[in-house]
Amino acid sequence: MDRLDNTIRPYAWGSTTAIPALLGVEPSGEPQAEMWMGAHPGAPSRTARGTLVEVVDADPERELGAAAVAKFGPRLPFLLKILAAGAPLSLQVHPNLQQAKEGYEDEERRGIPVDAPHRNYKDANHKPELICALTEFDGLCGFRDPLRAAELLAGLGVDSLKPYVDLLHAHPEDAALREVLTAILTADPEEMQHTVAAAATACTRLGGAYAPYADIAHHYPGDPGVIAAMLLNHVRLQPGEALFLGAGIPHAYLNGLGVEIMANSDNVLRCGLTPKHVDVPELLRIVRFEASDPGVLRPEASPEGEEVYDTPIDEFRLSRYVLPEGGALHDLTRDTPQILLCTAGTVRADGQELLPGQSVFVPAGEKAEVSGAGTIFRATVIV
């Protein structure tokens, strides 16, 4: 197995303390948002054999296994991250596989450079993802029932929100949600700034269920995404709980430290809470306008001690082992590629000691035995 040297991305929304605390190092004072583990070309993990991209490219079947290559092609299908949100991320959705292919081909045909700020589709892949909390973790996930969203907006007592409240009482549900989100994102910018400012003041005064939106407005004053965020379910994960974000589900992470895994893609369509490009027509094509429960996931334990986060995706499979001192040796050998990540205690993986934040890549079929006293996350694929 290959010990990984991973890149930390310094996005502005990142916590300045959470990742350093996990790694046991002094904070630099700069935001540290995400640590990437995998073979994404934007920041591939480094090994003694070269970058993980180079390792996989040199012999895909040896590193990934014949079955994974046959199903997903000659690349690692997932990207694993430690994510540390110190401020809200952009409100966003991801396309399904067909939408991603169509969008990518269309932008390629129109000659839009991949690095253009108004480009939506960086690749032709979908981007389902799973976030598992290491600390208390706040997020937004999926639309509220329209009537509950109307009640929340009405409770602010802001006159300029009344048209949205009235729209949310319309039928059918999907049309009501579509009309309100469209109205919010296409409103006159100056008028929307006044609306958001009044809503933010009310959220701060009222607190309680409004407190998350007061914090969002503090970070993104005047952004229409503040009002759009109030259409969504607020959820607070406890350590070990997770959220699965499928195609078309609007979401945003607000605060906390977690392990995130996703299909290896960069495709994001933003709804707000960002200075970046918001393509309203394309966004409205991708969003699933239906009320839904956030669906908090708790791991399902096997007799062997593996706790699996069950998702409907084959590109990744995330599980964890909580290893007690003096516990049994666990054989994790598998005919698919794996990344093992320690998040607590000290774990030994085939003689290599892993401390919190340290990880290894295990090629398909290579022996992987773990022991120790700590927590280890296991990322692989389903073939």
CA-CA distance, 44 to 245, in Å (whole number)?
23
The pLDDT value given to residue 276: 87
119, 270, 317, 378: the active-site residue: 270
Gyration radius from the chain CA atoms: 22
d(Cα 73, Cα 65) in Å, to the nearest integer?
Answer: 11
Give CA separation, 152 vs 21, 30, 88, 159, 345, in Å.
37, 36, 20, 14, 43
- Average pLDDT estimate for 305-315: 95
Residue 245 pairs in a beta bridge with: 129
pLDDT at residue 351 in the model:
84
**Would you say residue 367 has pLDDT above 90?**
yes
pLDDT for residue 266: 85
pLDDT value of position 74: 96
Q: Are 24 and 51 in contact (CB under 8 A)?
A: no
pLDDT at 275: 87
Q: What is the rounded CA–CA span in Å between residue 311 and residue 178?
A: 27
Burial of 131 (0-12, 13-18, 19+ CB in 10 A): buried
Kindly indicate the confidence band of residue 345, based on its pLDDT and cuts at 50, 70 and 90.
Answer: very high
The DSSP 8-state label assigned to residue 313 in this structure reads -
**Could you report the per-residue pLDDT of 125-167, keeping only the tens digit for each?**
999 999 999 999 999 999 999 999 999 999 999 999 999 999 9
| For helices 173-185 and 146-154, angle between their N-to-C axes, nearest 10 degrees | 40
- Contact yes or no for 245/141 (Cβ under 8 A): yes
Per-residue confidence (pLDDT) for residue 76, from 0 to 100? 97
Q: Are 256 and 138 in contact (CB under 8 A)?
A: yes
What average pLDDT does the structure give for the chain? 95
Is residue 334 annotated as part of the catalytic site, yes or no?
Answer: no
pLDDT interval class at 285 (50, 70, 90): very high
Please report where in the chains the tokens 């990322």 appear, as a residue: 379
Q: Could you tell me which residues come within 8 angstroms of residue 46 by beta carbon, excluding any fewer than 6 positions away?
A: 4, 5, 6, 52
By C-alpha distance, which of 337, 274, 343 is closest to 66?
337
Whether the CB-CB separation of 353 and 346 falls below 8 Å is answered with yes
pLDDT tens, position by position, 178-220:
999 999 999 999 999 999 999 999 999 999 999 999 999 999 9
